[in-house]
Structure 1
Amino acid sequence: MKAMKRTALANLIKATLFSAAAGSAFTATAAEQQGPAAKDKSLEVIQITARKRVENAQEVPVAVSALQGDSLDAYSSAGMDIRFMNAKIPSLSIESSFGRSFPRFYVRGLGNTDFDLNASQPVSLVVDEVVQENAILKGFPVFDVARVEVLRGPQGTLFGRNTPAGLVKFDTVKPSQDFEGYGSVSYGSRGAIDFEGAVGGALTDRLSTRVSVLWQDKDDYIDNVAPGFEQKDVLGGYTDQAARIQFLYEGDDFTGLFNYHVRDMDGTPIAFRANAIKSGSNDLVSGFDHDKVQHDAASRATQQVESQGASLRLEWDLDEHTVTSITAWESAEIYSRADIDGGYGGYEINGQAVPSGPGFIPYTAESADGIPDHDQYTQELRLTSNFSGDFNYQVGLFYFDEALTIENFSYDTSANGALNGYVHQQQDTQAWAVFGSVDYTVTDDFKVTVGLRYSDDDKEFSANRTLSPINGGTLFLTENPSDDHVSWDISTNYKVSDDINWYARVANSFRAPSIQGRILFGDEVTVAESETLTSYETGIKSDVWDGRGRVNLAVFYYDMDDQQLTAVGGGANFNRLVNADKTTGYGFELDTQWVLTDNLNATFNLSYNNTELKDDDLAVAVCFQCTVTDPTYQVPGANGPENRAILDGNSLPHAPEWISNLTLRYSRDMADGEFFTYADVSYRSEIDFFLYESVEFEGKALTEVGLRSGYRWAEGDNEYEVSAFVRNLFDEQQAIGGVDFINNTAMVNEERYIGAEFKVSFF
């Protein structure tokens, strides 16, 4: 079976390489036919900061994709949160069991399915050069953003801990001396109203500012139809508000940038739907209705998020060197309560069983998680050379300090939601690192980069259970894991021609030890040791068709030791961290852009990721009533024999083999303006929701189509735009996640969304 997969992959890589070469040959011929005019419609040069320098993306020896301009606007319309990037970039997927507040990122199949608020991820999020470590910080809304970069593969040298899979990097629009801004308002399905805007300009000859705001509001629209608990419009809504203010001082040899941002979100969590998956298949049950749930605790469901942060970036230009200091503080609070079992009943009142449904509900699960207190402080100091010769370098220091308080609550649904379980977790993390990177130009066409980073990480953790929902008594447990690691990378870039760059990269990174102390339903705090990954990658970045086409291709293989995994659920509402002995992955990524005609632009992206766990002894508890396809064996459990699935040979959860995305943008001058239409199609193949494989908890392949069409014109110093858009055009609905510890409970993707927008930009 494995040999067949490798043969198929080899054929696919050959086919992809052939397609790229054939495309280059075809477009070269087409360019000759087009003549000199083709140069006037060439693709723009994309400048990125993947290596903390401003560089041409085509000359950086890293697999990186960037979103900006019309693509970014189209994807993020319709009030979307950060999950709008799911399957829009090769090898990137994003999901959440919290809804808008807790995104989980996966790159090249590597991610973390853990829903605990202390969960770490192997994909880091960096916003305006500041790492967003806690998962709640990662959910900050996306608005007034200039560019999104996704760096695939280990980024442990320049960006540090918790980046073995890569990172997602956001750069917001910065202040300038020019007075400019925009405002947009849209109205869409379910009464959704979205407003965002920004304005900025000079305060003095050296000081400028920019203020950006976002307000998103959507009505509750999901009805609760459980007998005895009927309620109209009880779930699905939110009000999300965010703002950012920046001040930029530009001296002769010094710049200073201050950034303050804040968010306040009040809404409801994602809807859990009991027995929504048909037993023995991965289909949604017949008659599934997105607008209805059958809960007995829907009236108490709520989700509130508050976060804020500030950063100060100081930079001194010392001719041949630049000194950069970035000081930052981030803070987040959340309280999220939900009917986790997704049904009603499953308990007794005064010795009498309460009718339950839909389907079999063996027991109730109503719980909440909260962060009442959180502070993250970071400091980076780096020295960058600006030599005109063949040699340049960067060196730096980094410090990270986080204090995190987590509360876990359990409620007795049979007693109108009375508190029956409480755990207080406290974690303090200190980490520091020293890093350096050297660039050397061997010849005009051949460059080498070598990077090294030493990281030290220490955690102090305690979990205190004062009330148990299962009569487990009080419990106080502590852990204090620590580790250090040397990450490194070596990359080369060879200029085959003026339009083709070939690169190769070997890199190593790690994820610091993780702790899972969710002891409401268990008596154990689990610790996962550090995971380490070594990646081997090579690729070609090429501009073709006289600058009207761009074809980038990467092929990679990685080997991970002691991968941190989360054994979620398995018949009990309890998470356990484990380390897999070895994990391997390989695949390819094709990223292309085209100017097909003067009026039509296109992009096409495709990625393949094969992941495999290799551990003969690794086994986890399985679902309560689903059809497990892995080999299983039984072990004694608190409530009788417990089935465990053997994971050796399985792929990773939420790791689609295939991700593909196609976009087309058509524009034409009309009257005194421009008519435009933007279409995108994204696809991801099947995924397993959990570490083990089962029929019900294999997510089907998902294809979503988006359209945006409008008219843009200018009057005086203003530019206006009106547009209509739709997301998930064909209203494809299916399970995108599950809860396995009680029944075949599912979470379902967003339904079709239709809206219209008006935007004005002023200069």
Structure 2
Amino acid sequence: MIANCPKAGSNSLLRKALATLLAHSAIIMPCIPGASAAYGQETSEIVVTAQRREQAIIDVPIAVSVVNAKQVENLNLSTFTSVAQQTPNFNITYARGSNATPDLTIRGIRGVASNGRLNESSIAVYVDDVYLGDETSLAGQIFDVERVEVLRGPQGTLFGRNTTGGLVQFVSAVPTSEFTGKASALYGSDDWVALNAAVSGPLGDHVRTRLAGQFERHDGHHRNLATIPGIRKKLAAKKVWSIRSTTDFDLGDTSKLRLQITKSETDSESTPNFGFGVWRDATKALCSRSEIFGSKCVDAVVLSGQPPQGKFHSGDAITELSRDELAIVQGLTSVTAKFETELGAASLINIANYSKFRSRIGIDGDQSTSPSARAGSNVYVQLNNRTRQFSDELRIQGETNSLNWVVGLFYYQDRKTNDNFINVRNNAGATLQRIQSVARVDTKSGAVFGQADWEFADRFTLSAGARYTVENRELKIANATLLNVLPTQNVLARVGDPDPVTKDITGRLSLTWEPTSDNSIYASYSRGAKSVSYSTFYSNPSPAALAANAALTGPVGQEHVDAFEIGSKNRFLDRRLTLNASAFYYIFDGKQELLSVADLSTGVPISTSRFLNVGTAEIYGAELELSYAPSRRWDFSLSGGLLHTKITDTPLILSSPRLGVIPLEGLPLPQTPKWNMSATLAHHIPVDGMGVFTLQAEARAQAKQNFVLNNDPIVDVPSYGLVNFRVMWESEDRKYNAQLFVTNAFSKDYFANLNETTFSAGSLIAQTGEPRLWGAKIGVSF
């Protein structure tokens, strides 16, 4: 929420120095928005709930970034990726396109949860204080939000579950006591239509409600290069609708009940990959990187007589599959009840949630490198998942002149089931093999937690908190079957410990000094833990592979992190300039990572994956966020991060088809670019009688990164930058608005993912980024 507050003075000498420096600066960088204010907006306080109570962001001793409601609307933020673009050292990628499950990484901690979706990410996702056990279920929930908070670093005290990397909290807009509403309509590339609306107001003296909904669809932003007669040319279509009702009931003078119901349905498509040959010719001599990505090389498919492909561009993909086969069909129903009451010197809050989520994702698994899209046998993968979860959190919190405190209990349980199929077919579409994996994991978790913030001296605050968690993640089913050929293999019966119970103490200790009301410096230590995980995506269901499948299954042990951080938050020039900086050092024990491999037992490479504990790792880096509004006509913001990761101690040695035996010790963690930067530049032009026009440039850039555990440099994703442009208008009374925009304005060709799991067949597999897109949007509020 944004709350107005009086301006606070700052040191006049420092103010003059900064004003002189910024006024004479010769460097202006176009960028992606951080905290730009609308024209005419008064200086305001950014309030967050990073510590489960409303606080000014400057008072929170945590590295937290906020995307407010205005930014969400202006930037059309409907995906996780859009949120990540606002946050330093926050990286989101998609192995199967932006309609599918995101892979979240904060400060080098990758939150992959595997194909089976039985596990949970190291980056926790919350919606209105409710933990999502499967972040895929967020797909239709990013609408009508008040703000998005990104907390970097382990949050093992007040949030607790699987937050070794950090968390993302979506805060929905709440019912109002007066009748209000808003609506917007967008039209753009590939018949892209997005509709959003919300209406809010009283239903009586003691009841207020808000009803919000969204609908988004397009024909697909990717192009199918397959040359099969009659094949469709648009890929990765999207269709999502969602509705949310939030109703507040006043129960007497001191109590309130909020009932929230969310329903979402998805009927979209996954995005097929694009393959590159790596051999120069039939001698299988390795090409150079420039030759590979220039599409000048061949693989086993092309050597067998299939035609080679042309040079790649963002938005390219190849598939022979139909829309139904690539379908992503999902449904979410969620009900939350939040009860609050005043107890005199304290408040009691109870939040209970029940959610159920189903998902079916179709994937082109043969990952073709030829526009023929066929090579004798094709792989089609179906991932079917169902989740039911219940959580309840009870908190009691209060404050005195020098002490803020909170204590609470938390209970969480879920049942996750997957039913996955690998279908190997010939060019005529006849099924040669059909492999089924079925698994189920039941989770029960309970915790007690507490935190106290004590201002023990003028401008000095000591915060201490701890959480004790007992958790059981029991593997209930684990089967592998070669359908109609072999009997079902009961993998569960061979798993050594399918019913592990873990107990953890996590927490946080920090010291904050606020020399003025506009400056704070903090130092902190925090500890986080992540649950055990399982690998249940089996590609070889033969009896001979039973023992190997059981060993593959796990459970994979927990990961723990000890994090040390220092930071400073500052406001200068009557709060027209904000500057936040942080530096951190992590020690990881048992870091969970995903190893992707190619199974050749079917005669065609099938990419599969498994979890590993890679041992001990260290991570350190720094971050900066700056926003500056020199006048009501200009807004400027810049954020960036530096990152270093290294596996420091591990017994693991991998076998790579290109590099041979690779010790993991000394290698960086996957998906960790050494630097990233985002920024924005906005110029507001007021026109009498018409309102305000805004010209805005946005950009994000990042260093090269590698997606595979063995860090093979042949699959380094090169550094790249993307630029967007936007022209916006808002009426003088702020009731009406409109915009024209273009993203990836310079049609940059880049990769969203790249791996070498099929290298033994002479190819690399890529997920290409989105091409240049355009759109127009109009909106009204009342």
* Shorter-normalised TM range: 0.7 to 0.9
> Normalized against structure 1, the TM-score is what?
0.87
Match of 1:724, as an amino acid?
Answer: L
Query: Which residue matches 2:558?
Result: 530
Matched residues in 2 for 1:22 and 1:367: separation?
Answer: 65
Query: Which residue matches 1:108?
Result: 107
Cα distance, 1:329–1:276 mapped onto 2, change above 3 Å: farther
Matched residues in 1 for 2:649 and 2:484: separation?
Answer: 33
Cα distance, 1:621–1:598 mapped onto 2, change above 3 Å: same
Matched residues in 2 for 1:550 and 1:454: separation?
Answer: 37
User: After the TM superposition, which of the residue ranges 597-606 and 362-371 deviates more from structure 2?
Assistant: 362-371
**SS of residue paired to 1:27:** helix
Cα distance, 1:723–1:671 mapped onto 2, change above 3 Å: same
Match of 2:670, as an amino acid?
Answer: P
Cα distance, 1:429–1:712 mapped onto 2, change above 3 Å: same
Matched residues in 1 for 2:461 and 2:721: separation?
Answer: 41
Match of 1:613, as an amino acid?
Answer: I
Match of 1:81, as an amino acid?
Answer: T
Matched residues in 2 for 1:121 and 1:189: separation?
Answer: 32
Matched residues in 2 for 1:615 and 1:161: separation?
Answer: 26
Match of 2:255, as an amino acid?
Answer: F
Matched residues in 1 for 2:167 and 2:554: separation?
Answer: 26
Extract unaligned runs of 5+ from structure 2: 1-11, 25-39, 280-286, 296-309, 493-497, 600-605
1:604-637 alpha-carbon deviations (Å, 9 max, x no partner):
1111111111234222343x6xx54xxx32xxxx
Query: Which residue matches 1:598?
Result: 632
Please tell me whether residue 488 in structure 1 is matched to residue 543 in structure 2. no
1:76-130 alpha-carbon deviations (Å, 9 max, x no partner):
35xx422212332111111122332311211101013434322321110111000
Q: How does 1:239-258 map to 2 (within 5 A)?
A: 239-250=239-250, 251-258=252-259
**SS of residue paired to 1:439:** strand
- Please, which of 658, 661, 666 is the counterpart of residue 649 of structure 1? 666
Cα distance, 1:289–1:154 mapped onto 2, change above 3 Å: closer
Q: How does 1:368-447 map to 2 (within 5 A)?
A: 368-371=382-385, 373-387=386-400, 389-414=401-426, 416=429, 418=431, 420-447=434-461
**SS of residue paired to 2:157:** coil
1:559-601 alpha-carbon deviations (Å, 9 max, x no partner):
0111111112255533222112201001111011111222101
Query: Which residue matches 1:90?
Result: 88
Matched residues in 1 for 2:376 and 2:668: separation?
Answer: 30
Please tell me whether residue 658 in structure 1 is matched to residue 675 in structure 2. yes
Q: How does 1:465-484 map to 2 (within 5 A)?
A: 465=479, 467-468=481-482, 474-478=488-492, 479-484=498-503
Query: Which residue matches 2:5?
Result: none
Cα distance, 1:198–1:187 mapped onto 2, change above 3 Å: same
Query: Which residue matches 1:199?
Result: 199
**SS of residue paired to 2:18:** helix
Q: CA RMSD in A?
A: 2.6
Cα distance, 1:570–1:596 mapped onto 2, change above 3 Å: farther
Matched residues in 2 for 1:392 and 1:687: separation?
Answer: 42
Matched residues in 1 for 2:710 and 2:22: separation?
Answer: 51
Matched residues in 1 for 2:244 and 2:391: separation?
Answer: 19
Match of 2:162, as an amino acid?
Answer: N
1:228-252 alpha-carbon deviations (Å, 9 max, x no partner):
4541235221211111111012342
Match of 1:125, as an amino acid?
Answer: V
Query: Which residue matches 2:757?
Result: 741
1:242-271 alpha-carbon deviations (Å, 9 max, x no partner):
111110123420111111111111121012
Cα distance, 1:287–1:580 mapped onto 2, change above 3 Å: closer
CA contact (8 A) 1:465 1:520 kept: no
Query: Which residue matches 2:168?
Result: 168
Query: Which residue matches 1:754?
Result: 774
Matched residues in 2 for 1:589 and 1:292: separation?
Answer: 34
Cα distance, 1:555–1:43 mapped onto 2, change above 3 Å: farther
**SS of residue paired to 1:142:** coil
Query: Which residue matches 1:352?
Result: none
Q: Percent identity?
A: 22
Cα distance, 1:276–1:110 mapped onto 2, change above 3 Å: farther
Query: Which residue matches 1:117?
Result: 117
Structure 1 position 226, deviation (Å): 3.5
Please tell me whether residue 562 in structure 1 is matched to residue 581 in structure 2. no
CA contact (8 A) 2:692 2:732 kept: no
Query: Which residue matches 1:517?
Result: 536
Match of 2:110, as an amino acid?
Answer: G
Matched residues in 2 for 1:536 and 1:417: separation?
Answer: 57
Structure 1 position 453, deviation (Å): 0.4
Cα distance, 1:441–1:616 mapped onto 2, change above 3 Å: closer
Query: Which residue matches 2:289?
Result: 281
Structure 1 position 311, deviation (Å): 0.3
Cα distance, 1:290–1:729 mapped onto 2, change above 3 Å: closer
**SS of residue paired to 2:668:** coil
**SS of residue paired to 1:231:** coil
Cα distance, 1:497–1:228 mapped onto 2, change above 3 Å: closer
Cα distance, 1:272–1:473 mapped onto 2, change above 3 Å: farther
Query: Which residue matches 2:578?
Result: 550
**SS of residue paired to 1:319:** coil
Query: Which residue matches 1:686?
Result: 704
CA contact (8 A) 1:725 1:756 kept: yes
Cα distance, 1:606–1:739 mapped onto 2, change above 3 Å: closer
User: After the TM superposition, which of the residue ranges 116-125 and 427-436 deviates more from structure 2?
Assistant: 116-125
Query: Which residue matches 2:299?
Result: none
Match of 1:375, as an amino acid?
Answer: R
- Please, which of 687, 692, 700 is the counterpart of residue 670 of structure 1? 687
User: After the TM superposition, which of the residue ranges 701-710 and 438-447 deviates more from structure 2?
Assistant: 701-710
Matched residues in 1 for 2:116 and 2:647: separation?
Answer: 23
User: After the TM superposition, which of the residue ranges 513-522 and 432-441 deviates more from structure 2?
Assistant: 513-522
- Please, which of 725, 728, 753 is the counterpart of residue 707 of structure 1? 725
Match of 2:106, as an amino acid?
Answer: V
Extract unaligned runs of 5+ from structure 1: 1-20, 34-39, 345-355, 634-644
The one of the two structures with greater contact order (alpha-carbon pairs below 8 A, sep at least 6) is 2
How many residues are matched?
A: 702
Matched residues in 2 for 1:665 and 1:225: separation?
Answer: 38
> Normalized against structure 2, the TM-score is what?
0.85
1:436-472 alpha-carbon deviations (Å, 9 max, x no partner):
1011111121010100100011011144435328977
CA contact (8 A) 2:118 2:417 kept: no
Query: Which residue matches 1:727?
Result: 743
Structure 1 position 417, deviation (Å): 5.8
**SS of residue paired to 2:749:** coil
Matched residues in 2 for 1:151 and 1:222: separation?
Answer: 33
- Please, which of 341, 349, 356 is the counterpart of residue 324 of structure 1? 349
Structure 1 position 133, deviation (Å): 1.5
Matched residues in 1 for 2:420 and 2:374: separation?
Answer: 26
Cα distance, 1:570–1:386 mapped onto 2, change above 3 Å: same
CA contact (8 A) 2:238 2:269 kept: yes
Query: Which residue matches 1:180?
Result: 180
**SS of residue paired to 1:76:** coil
User: After the TM superposition, which of the residue ranges 287-296 and 696-705 deviates more from structure 2?
Assistant: 287-296
Structure 1 position 723, deviation (Å): 1.0
Matched residues in 1 for 2:368 and 2:399: separation?
Answer: 62
Matched residues in 1 for 2:570 and 2:394: separation?
Answer: 35
Cα distance, 1:692–1:298 mapped onto 2, change above 3 Å: farther
Matched residues in 1 for 2:103 and 2:488: separation?
Answer: 32
User: After the TM superposition, which of the residue ranges 681-690 and 270-279 deviates more from structure 2?
Assistant: 270-279
Structure 1 position 343, deviation (Å): 1.8
**SS of residue paired to 1:573:** strand
Cα distance, 1:690–1:182 mapped onto 2, change above 3 Å: same
CA contact (8 A) 1:31 1:545 kept: no
CA contact (8 A) 2:272 2:319 kept: no
Query: Which residue matches 1:64?
Result: 64
- Please, which of 267, 272, 295 is the counterpart of residue 319 of structure 2? 295
User: After the TM superposition, which of the residue ranges 288-297 and 551-560 deviates more from structure 2?
Assistant: 288-297
Structure 1 position 485, deviation (Å): 0.3
Query: Which residue matches 2:18?
Result: 27
Match of 1:438, as an amino acid?
Answer: A
Cα distance, 1:341–1:43 mapped onto 2, change above 3 Å: farther
Query: Which residue matches 2:262?
Result: 261
Structure 1 position 298, deviation (Å): 4.2
Query: Which residue matches 2:127?
Result: 127
Cα distance, 1:222–1:680 mapped onto 2, change above 3 Å: closer
1:294-317 alpha-carbon deviations (Å, 9 max, x no partner):
423345322111112010000001
Structure 1 position 665, deviation (Å): 2.0
Q: How does 1:194-233 map to 2 (within 5 A)?
A: 194-220=194-220, 222=222, 224-228=224-228, 230-233=230-233
